[in-house]
Amino acid sequence: MACGPKAMIGPSILNSDLSMLYDESEKMINSGADYLHLDVMDGHFVPNLTFGHPVVKCLRQKIPKSFFDMHMMVANPEKWVEAMADAGANQYTFHIEASKDVPDLCRKIKEAGMKVGIGLKPGTDVSVVLPYGPLADMLLVMTVEPGFGGQKFMADMMPKVERLRAEFPLVNIEVDGGVSPANIDQCAKAGANMIVSGSAVVKSPQPAEVISQLKQAVQKVFPE
């Protein structure tokens, strides 16, 4: 981190064929993905269900080295820290709106051996997360309402990214939701270096080309 954030592209496999989760994940890694963004939804915090730690553990057994960024869209994020750590997760990204004690949750995540990610829904003011920025390895700005894939990118979230980058120049800042080659420049210029892209990558017949386009755009702002 001393050298500053670097460009990283993490496909969201929520939009892939979930009956072939391993194959789809391996395809993304072979296409140049820097990490995998795994969406966990509980049907409470968001009105949808995906998968939990048993699936993640199976995926880790087949993909031993890739970085797993867990996007925990769950009502009680404290509940799943140990299970996700045991499953092989690398980063535990919870929503600030769901946590009753953010500092304690950050401590638990770190003690479990994972990096800390803190996410913000579109309707949450960026000021809410500022006191906790020093505790985080990554701050996530949602550019759609969490819970469903394939939504339209919300460009009016970019001021949040700008504020977070100004406040925390060495922290990874991630955007998630509707990100594609058409709007990647906005994300990068605002200060996002970790890019989650679902449909634009996963649904493309040439995912490696899309990942390359996204990464090159971010590298203009965050050269290595």
Catalytic residue from among 39, 42, 69, 137: 39
Per-residue pLDDT of the chain (224 residues; tens, 9 = 90+): 346 899 999 999 887 888 899 999 999 999 999 999 999 988 888 878 788 899 999 999 999 999 999 999 999 999 999 999 999 999 999 999 999 999 999 999 999 999 999 999 999 999 999 999 999 999 999 999 987 666 799 999 999 999 999 999 999 999 999 999 999 999 999 999 999 998 999 999 999 999 999 999 999 999 98
At residue 136, the 3 state secondary structure works out as coil
Flag whether 148 is marked binding.
yes
DSSP 163-205: HHHHH-TTSEEEEESS--TTTHHHHHHHT--EEEESHHHHT-S
34 is in an annotated binding site: no
Is 3 among the domain residues? Answer: no
Indicate the number of domains in the chain: 1
Q: Is 39 a catalytic residue?
A: yes
Q: What are phi and psi of 34, to 5 degrees?
A: -85, -25
The structure's pTM equals 0.95
Domain containing residue 206: 8-219
The answer to whether residue 1 sits within a structural domain is no
- Is 176 assigned a ligand-binding role in the annotation? yes
**Whole-angstrom Cα Rg for the chain:** 16
What CATH number is attached to the domain comprising 169?
3.20.20.70
